[in-house]
Structure 1
């Protein structure tokens, strides 16, 4: 039997659950890491355990990539077997992936109690698979760890009892506090890419609603190209495997001002994020990180589940419209990065452990 079982499967989950794993280590809480294998690239995934100085997963389910139904079904079967074997008191999931959905469903039907880290995020767009995953996870969880009061309000509006919700801040702040220094010390990405003392923008685009739609994907690339030419800079684009497949399938020639590179390890991507003059993205996690790091951000989507970033002036939505991308990028470059960080003080992991029914001494932090 173990105290806590972490179910995770993708890069953001590893990064954001790392502070909670490390808090368990400090407090002597026994834990088991169950890795679904949802990300199947070492560059995107398993290398993080070494980079972040985390213990290797106790179980690797190696589910890999497939359709939503097939992938989730395989996870359900495998996670149930593991939870039956280890019999945890608490299962923790983080975010909105298929790994979260599967872990939440299995745990909700098991003896263990379920905690959802980063609960209450809403884009109000149910066409996004992530929106369905996060809603289901929230409504079957015993403990909902909302990163902000805005997230808490969404949960309360949906009828979730207040006693199940704890506003903790976001564990991404905990992670960045620790990992920014590690990235500065260990990463050679700026030198390797010839970006030392050079102005550049950083781009990510991988979400299904963007890269699976040929017109949207082409519009995004056109808008980023025009933005780069307007400001006379190069855009660095680490290409996710999903986006790479679509570029090839659609026969897209990526414009010259956009330099495509292989996916980066977390520390290398963090190093580039800190040094970039602007980040253009469709990633929710990157929006958060840019906001916390003080780097202006343009989100190339029609909505965001991180409205706090736009509220404080750290981020603007551009949709996929090329003109809007250019306009919002120009506006964001005028920002000074001095906005307030809405995601907490770096003690989210400790607050999460304090809220769980665990017999352990956890460092007290201010509520």
Structure 2
């Protein structure tokens, strides 16, 4: 009988990590990967399009466990995933990243005495005002197996007293997704379809509550983007949350009038094509810090801290104040668009293979 493995995903970044692992497990003769979509992000542009791009099947189970607040989301996933585990008991539950679905599914599985693996474990920003940081710390504390993307994550877990036997450095599965789809990403030529020359524009992505949820903070950022758009082309795929706030605070038309190219969220392939050909990224996202590091593209992260310090140590990524977006971007662009040669150990497109070997070994040790 095959080992039944729930791969739990609820938000856009989760699918990029689940995709390579799903395919690697499906290619074995011992594992049965089962895709569970919690529904935390339920719009097509935030999840369904990623299933298509990553070649994933429709989820075996869709929990439709959405909610407007962190508490509502977490509670909805807790209730729905518990019901699923009672009716479709897995041999392992794999959770990914740091969203509310990650913590909720891990809690359910552990309370039902199901083994839990956390993919992308050990990342720490040190900022516990971030909901994602709470989710990371709590999930790592209860998971049986912690798959880390980089050596600094191992150090974090050891510092927190996690036993060495639970920690395995496997590398960055996000890079697997990029490597597997690199030819498709190059072929789609998003920039060309938008009439843009390679390395002639800046890509912006912003969605963190601290940046977009208040009129004061988002107005400051909008002013910075207006100033930046006066010197170069700015392309801004707008997260649904951010769009709502821009419209609510009367900033959308201001950006349009300044020439900022506000576009709908893109699928993974189209978005990574846009990023691959850009001169610079300005973001508050986590995963894009990793992808730009792999590609050697300069990245400015509008946050006070990052859970991916290796990207800063290598010099491809810099933390900046939102009040300095325009000045920092202009200064970076003035230094030219030469790509950096940045490589992190095990960010090589083979993380999913290492994860499969790790899980196979753990399964063989179970009574």
Q: Same fold (TM over 0.5)?
A: yes
> What are the Cα deviations for residues 50-91 of structure 1, in whole angstroms up to 9, with x where unaligned?
221112100011123411111111110110111122221111
1:91: which partner in 2?
93
Runs of 4+ in 1 over 6 A off after TM superposition: none
In structure 1, how many angstroms separate the alpha carbons of the residues matched to 2:98 and 2:302?
19
From 299, 305, 308, the counterpart of 2:307: 305
1:119: which partner in 2?
121
1:204 equivalenced with 2:205 (yes/no): yes
1:141: which partner in 2?
143
More divergent stretch after superposition (117-126 vs 174-183): 174-183
In structure 1, how many angstroms separate the alpha carbons of the residues matched to 2:218 and 2:181?
32
2:216: which partner in 1?
215
1:198, distance to aligned residue in structure 2 (A): 6.5
In structure 1, how many angstroms separate the alpha carbons of the residues matched to 2:174 and 2:333?
22
> What are the Cα deviations for residues 160-206 of structure 1, in whole angstroms up to 9, with x where unaligned?
11110001111011111112212223x25323322245711100011
* CA spacing shift, 1:244–1:345, aligned 2, 3 Å: same
> What are the Cα deviations for residues 3-24 of structure 1, in whole angstroms up to 9, with x where unaligned?
2111111111001111111110
2:350: which partner in 1?
347
8 A contact 1:2–1:32 mirrored in 2: no
Q: How does the TM-score come out when normalised to structure 2?
A: 0.92
1:358, distance to aligned residue in structure 2 (A): 3.1
> What are the Cα deviations for residues 212-257 of structure 1, in whole angstroms up to 9, with x where unaligned?
122221222222332343xx32100011110011111111122613
Secondary structure of the equivalent of 1:246?
A: helix
Q: How does the TM-score come out when normalised to structure 1?
A: 0.92
In structure 2, how many angstroms separate the alpha carbons of the residues matched to 1:336 and 1:146?
30
8 A contact 2:275–2:281 mirrored in 1: yes
1:30: which partner in 2?
32
In structure 2, how many angstroms separate the alpha carbons of the residues matched to 1:332 and 1:3?
49
In structure 2, how many angstroms separate the alpha carbons of the residues matched to 1:190 and 1:359?
48
1:81: which partner in 2?
83
8 A contact 1:291–1:314 mirrored in 2: yes
In structure 1, how many angstroms separate the alpha carbons of the residues matched to 2:330 and 2:130?
25
- Runs of 5+ consecutive residues of structure 1 not aligned to the other structure: 361-367
1:239: which partner in 2?
238
User: Root-mean-square deviation (CA), in Å?
Assistant: 1.9
> What are the Cα deviations for residues 131-150 of structure 1, in whole angstroms up to 9, with x where unaligned?
10111110010000111110
From 358, 361, 367, the counterpart of 2:363: 358
1:336, distance to aligned residue in structure 2 (A): 3.1
From 277, 280, 285, the counterpart of 1:278: 280
Secondary structure of the equivalent of 2:46?
A: coil
From 52, 55, 80, the counterpart of 2:54: 52
8 A contact 1:3–1:358 mirrored in 2: no
8 A contact 1:298–1:332 mirrored in 2: no
2:110: which partner in 1?
108
- Runs of 5+ consecutive residues of structure 2 not aligned to the other structure: none
8 A contact 1:200–1:234 mirrored in 2: yes
1:302, distance to aligned residue in structure 2 (A): 1.1
In structure 1, how many angstroms separate the alpha carbons of the residues matched to 2:342 and 2:104?
35
In structure 2, how many angstroms separate the alpha carbons of the residues matched to 1:351 and 1:104?
22
More divergent stretch after superposition (121-130 vs 38-47): 38-47
Secondary structure of the equivalent of 1:19?
A: helix
